[in-house]
C-alpha cells in the first residue's frame, strides 16, 4: 500500500509536468498577442506595443520561455497576470475558497441525491417511482445551468425572496448554485447506481446470500450496495473534477467569485500565466482526488488489489 502510494505520487508529478507542457504549448497556438490586447483602444503606437510585448517576455524564443516557466513553477512562483499584474498564486488563493465551497456543496448534493435516488429506483425497479426518478435524472442533465439558474433566481429570490440571488459568503448564498450544479452530476450518478445495483442484485453471491436465508435488509446494505458502489465511486471522482472545473457557468449566473470565472476570462483573454497556474492547480487537485478514489476502491473491493 505504501509503495503503491509512492509510485502513484511519482507518476502524479510526471502527469503534472506533462500537463504543464501541454498547456504551455496549446496556449501558444491560440491566436492573439497579449500586448496588443492590453493596449487596444488606448491610442498606443506600434513601438509602445512592441515595448510591452518585450516587457511581458513574449519576445523570447519559445524554449527560453518554456525553461523560465518550468523553473519558476518548480520554485512555486506562478508568475504575474499579464493584464492585472497580480501574482497568480495570490489570485488563486483568494478565489479558491469560494470555488471549493461551491464544488463541495454541489458534490454533496450530487452524492446524496444521486445515490439516494439510484438506490430507491433500483429497489422499486419498474415502478412509477423508478420512472419518475429516472426521468428527473434526465432532466438534470439536459437542462442547462445558464437557464435553470435564472429560473431559480426568478422564483426564490425575486418572487419569494427566500434566498439571495447572487454573491457568496453564507450558506444561504450556496443553496441555489449548489443545487443546480449538483443536480447535473446527480443524474448520471443516480442512473449508474440504479443500473449497477440491479446488476448486483442478480449476481450469484446475492443469490447465494438469499439462499442462505439472510434478511433482505442485510443483503442490500451489506452486499449489494457495497458492491454496486464501485462504479459509482469512480464516477463521483470524475464528477469532482467536473464540478471543480465546471463551476464557471454557475459562478457567472449567480455572480459568485471563483476560479472558474478567473480561468475562463484568462483563456478568453490569453492571460498566459493565469491559465497555466489555474490549470496546474486543477490538475493537481484532480489527480489527488482520483488517487483517493483508487485507494477507496482498493479498500472496498479486495479484488482490485491484485493489480
Binding to another protein (CB under 8 A) within 131-190 occurs at: 131-132, 134-135, 137-139, 141-144, 146-147, 149-151, 153-155, 157-159, 161, 164-168, 187-188
Q: Which residues of 42-76 are buried (b: 16+ CB within 10 A; e: fewer)?
A: eebeeeebeebbeebeeeeeeeebbeebeeebeee
Cβ 71 to another protein, closest distance in Å?
Answer: 21
Listed ranges 8-16, 71-79, 109-117, 175-183: which one lies at the site for another protein (CB under 8 A): 8-16
- Interface with another protein in residues 286-305 (CB under 8 A): 286-287, 290, 297, 301, 303-304
Helix (H, G, I), strand (E, B) or coil at 163: coil
Among 81, 88, 107, 277, binds another protein (CB under 8 A): 81
- Asked whether position 5 contacts another protein by CB under 8 A, the answer is no
User: Residues with Cβ < 8 Å from 226, sequence gap 6 or more?
Assistant: 300
Q: Give the whole-angstrom CA distance, residue 12 versus residue 263.
A: 22
Can you tell me the distance from the alpha carbon of 227 to that of 178, in angstroms, rounded to the nearest whole number? 28
Q: Which residues does 164 contact at the CB level (< 8 Å), separation at least 6?
A: 157, 170, 172, 173
Of 109 and 185, the one with the shorter C-beta distance to another protein is 185
Is 196 a binding residue for another protein by CB under 8 A? The answer is yes
243 binds another protein (CB under 8 A): no
Span from 67-75, 103-111, 175-183, 203-211 in contact with another protein (CB under 8 A): 203-211
Q: Does 6 bind another protein (CB under 8 A)?
A: no
Applying CB under 8 A, among 83, 100, 116, 295 the residue interacting with another protein is 83
Binding to another protein in span 39-78, by CB under 8 A: 39-46, 48-49, 51-52, 55
- How far is Cα 111 from Cα 96, in angstroms, rounded to an integer? 22
Question: 158: helix, coil or strand?
Answer: helix
Half-sphere exposure of 52 (CA within 13 A, CB side): 17
**Residue closer to another protein, measured from CB, 65 or 234:** 234
Q: What nine digits make up the cell of 268?
A: 478568453
- Name the 3-class secondary structure at 14: helix
Assess 283 for contact with another protein (CB under 8 A). Answer: yes
Amino acid at each position: 500500500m505504501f509503495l503503491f502510494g509512492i509510485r502513484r505520487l511519482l507518476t502524479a508529478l510526471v502527469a503534472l509536468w506533462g500537463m504543464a507542457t501541454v498547456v504551455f504549448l496549446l496556449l501558444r497556438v491560440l491566436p492573439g498577442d497579449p500586448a496588443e490586447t492590453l493596449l487596444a483602444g488606448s491610442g498606443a503606437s506600434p513601438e509602445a506595443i512592441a515595448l510591452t510585448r518585450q516587457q511581458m517576455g513574449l519576445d523570447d524564443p519559445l524554449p527560453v520561455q518554456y525553461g523560465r516557466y518550468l523553473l519558476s513553477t518548480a520554485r512555486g512562483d506562478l508568475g504575474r497576470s499579464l493584464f492585472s499584474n497580480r501574482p497568480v498564486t495570490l489570485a488563486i488563493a483568494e478565489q479558491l475558497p469560494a470555488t471549493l465551497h461551491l464544488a463541495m456543496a454541489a458534490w454533496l448534493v450530487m452524492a446524496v441525491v444521486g445515490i439516494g435516488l439510484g438506490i430507491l429506483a433500483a429497489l422499486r425497479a419498474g415502478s412509477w417511482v423508478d420512472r419518475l426518478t429516472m426521468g428527473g435524472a434526465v432532466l438534470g442533465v439536459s437542462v442547462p445551468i445558464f437557464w435553470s439558474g435564472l429560473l431559480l433566481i426568478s422564483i426564490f429570490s425575486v418572487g419569494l425572496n427566500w434566498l439571495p440571488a447572487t454573491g457568496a459568503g453564507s450558506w444561504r448564498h450556496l443553496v441555489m448554485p449548489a443545487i443546480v450544479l449538483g443536480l447535473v452530476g446527480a443524474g448520471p450518478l443516480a442512473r449508474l447506481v440504479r443500473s449497477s445495483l440491479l446488476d448486483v442484485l442478480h449476481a450469484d453471491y446475492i443469490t447465494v446470500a438469499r439462499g442462505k436465508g439472510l434478511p433482505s435488509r442485510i443483503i442490500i446494505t451489506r452486499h449489494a450496495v457495497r458492491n454496486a458502489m464501485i462504479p459509482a465511486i469512480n464516477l463521483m471522482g470524475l464528477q469532482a473534477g467536473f464540478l471543480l472545473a465546471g463551476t464557471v457557468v454557475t459562478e457567472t449566473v449567480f455572480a459568485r467569485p471563483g476560479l472558474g470565472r478567473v480561468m475562463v476570462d484568462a483563456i478568453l483573454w490569453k492571460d498566459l500565466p493565469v491559465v497555466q497556474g489555474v490549470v496546474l492547480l486543477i490538475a493537481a487537485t484532480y489527480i489527488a482526488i482520483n488517487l483517493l478514489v483508487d485507494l477507496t476502491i482498493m479498500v472496498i473491493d479486495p479484488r482490485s488489489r491484485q493489480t
